[in-house]
Amino acid sequence: MRVTAVARYLVIAGLSLVLVACSRDQGYQDLDEFMKKARNEPQGKVEPLPEFKAYEAFTYSASDRRSPFEPPAEVVLEDEDDDDDEPESEIKPDENRPTEPLERFEMSDLAMVGSLQRSEEGQLYALVQDPEGGIHRVAVGDYMGQNHGRVQRVTETRIQLREIVGDGSGGWVKRPRTLSLEQD
């Protein structure tokens, strides 16, 4: 038993000697000098925030004009006679027919979101979303948009229409228009 007690005292004494030897402040002088030097140097300067320019509200006053983001209607006039003030074209919208739900909206506000084909009929329908979030089924012959647009053809990726728009001299012209499937 005496040998184990002596061995225990030797281990404790050895560990104490190692702890005392490691606790001296030797080897950290360069680190202490660096920290002292860093504390004495002037601190960094934060630049002031840039001056904020106040928002100025803008009122769009040209809402009754053609949208600059849509292509202008191409109107081709042939041999205008200055004597005749009546339009020569027999093209005009049918004002007596009942309007359809999609005629309340501008074409730029409508979006084709898909297509649907019934297998028994074989007819292809386009699915059109209005700005209020409603989905409408559109087929050839239906009307949409505020320019008397009538659907001429429906494919899986686009709707082809013919719009009837004013030509600027009291007459009407047909204008092709396409509504393509929106890709996410």
**Domain count of the chain?**
1
Does residue 127 fall inside a structural domain?
Answer: yes
Q: Is the pTM higher than 0.85?
A: no
Does residue 161 fall inside a structural domain?
Answer: yes
In contact, 169 and 160? CB cutoff 8 Å:
no
Does residue 21 fall inside a structural domain?
Answer: no
Q: Which domain holds residue 134?
A: 111-180
Does residue 99 fall inside a structural domain?
Answer: no
- CATH, residue 165: 2.30.30.830
Res. 168 pLDDT band, cuts 50 70 90: confident
Whether the per-residue pLDDT at 81 is higher than 60: the answer is no
Does residue 50 fall inside a structural domain?
Answer: no
Whether the per-residue pLDDT at 1 is higher than 70: the answer is no
Predicted local confidence at residue 122, as pLDDT: 79
Does residue 147 fall inside a structural domain?
Answer: yes
Q: What is the pLDDT of residues 48-79, one digit of tens each?
A: 888 888 888 877 777 667 777 777 766 665 55
Does residue 32 fall inside a structural domain?
Answer: no
Does residue 154 fall inside a structural domain?
Answer: yes
In contact, 87 and 105? CB cutoff 8 Å:
no
Find the mean pLDDT for residues 113-138: 86
Find the mean pLDDT for residues 140-163: 90
For the sheet with 135-138, list strands across it: 111-117, 124-129, 135-138
